[in-house]
Amino acid sequence: MARPGSFDKGLALHQRGRLAEAEPLYRRVLRTAPSHFDALHLLGVLCGQTDRFDEALELLNRALALRPDSASALNNLGNTLGSLGHHAESVQAFDRALALRPDDAKALRNRGTSLRALERPEEALASFDAALALQPDYSEALIGRAECLLTLHRRGQAIAAFHQALALGKDVDQIQYALAALGIGSTPATAPAGYVEALFDMYAHNFDEHLVKTLGYRTPELLVAELRRAQPLQSGGEVIDLGCGTGLCGPLLRPLAGRLTGVDLSSLMLAKARELGLYDELVQGDIAAVLQGQPRRFDIAVAADVFVYIGDLDAVFAATAAALRPTGLFAFSVEACPDDDSGSDFVLGPKRRYAHSLAYLQRLAAAHGLVIESSTRSAIRKESEEAVDGLLVVMRRG
């Protein structure tokens, strides 16, 4: 039997962010009272907070079967469906929540986020505007509004919305990064980790299809081909896939690896990579931080389409060089600096992706004891049907 107060204790722990302690108390309640709406609802929320979205969906649906008019549960259902990539169903859940509680600014903002993911920017903009009519200082809604305005080619209004959000003092790094990509302010050394994580969490469930089919992405194949040209590669070594995402490099790297490790900022990307069953270890974190403290461990390090989110590569090169065994190989791709920026080490483009110069990469190699085996200019993907010029580089630790 659940002890009296188990739910209240679980709720108090949950509210203080002590999720691992709250979960068993909710489950204790449900063992003796399987139809306890609040325990079902909040355990579903907790599962969503810990990236167990399939379980969260099942629990929230059970809760809503008991109380279909719960606007809070419907809002949380919408969030969960969005995290699973089911954005059309997510919008339906938010619509049901808003029919019950039309003045819910958070539900309106969440609805706008799902509509953005569905590439319906005008409807998304209307949803963000409705949220802001209720809560003018809602930073996340202002950012969403700015993003929609950019998609709709209303640049001046987008910049104004970003500045409004910036004045509120939240998400400062993310906003300054967006403005820098529009040519306003100084260029940051790297994309904010929170921005990259949220971006890839949003697209984890349709990322491969979008990247390969829509953008013509073929960097993994091209990069591994460059690796094989650098030297005949035998299986059995330690290989690390830096910024592994959903594991697009995994099938190509697995035959080369006795042990294959993947690293990424996005927990949802890592969940998709885990489903492949190809990686011996998957680690969530910043790639330079993960590499530190692992001297001379790896035979091969690969970073496919990762450095588009890092401008200043010095720390990454230092950490990678230190983590490679002598004669170990470091293969990576970058977008190439446009010709009119040939004197720059790196530039941040309007799509919020960094491009790097070959001269900069050559200096980094020399500074960190790496020798360039090859550097090949190639179209690495498409952007608005135009080929994006890139560099495929293989370096060896001396």
Task: State pLDDT tens for residues 278-305.
Answer: 999 999 999 999 999 899 999 999 999 9
312 and 218, same structural domain? yes
CA–CA distance, 323 with 37 (Å, rounded to integer): 51
- In the chain, the number of structural domains is 2
Is 195 a domain residue? no
177 and 297, same structural domain? no
Instruction: Assess contact for 173 and 188: CB atoms under 8 A.
Output: yes
Instruction: Assess contact for 135 and 144: CB atoms under 8 A.
Output: no
Q: For residue 335, give the 3-state DSSP assignment.
A: strand
124 and 245, same structural domain? no
Tracing tokens 């790094």 back to the chain, one arrives at 173
313 and 258, same structural domain? yes
Which pLDDT belongs to residue 2?
A: 47
Residue 215: pLDDT band by 50, 70, 90 thresholds?
low
Quote the mean pLDDT of the chain: 92
For the stretch 168-214, pLDDT in tens is: 999 999 999 999 999 999 999 999 998 888 888 776 666 555 555 55
Tracing tokens 């990686």 back to the chain, one arrives at 279
CA–CA distance, 385 with 357 (Å, rounded to integer): 23
Q: Look up the domain containing 304 and give its range.
A: 204-397
CATH number of the domain to which 289 belongs: 3.40.50.150
Tracing tokens 């799902």 back to the chain, one arrives at 114
Residue 1: pLDDT band by 50, 70, 90 thresholds?
very low
Instruction: Assess contact for 265 and 200: CB atoms under 8 A.
Output: yes
254 and 315, same structural domain? yes
For the stretch 220-245, pLDDT in tens is: 999 999 998 887 666 679 999 999 99
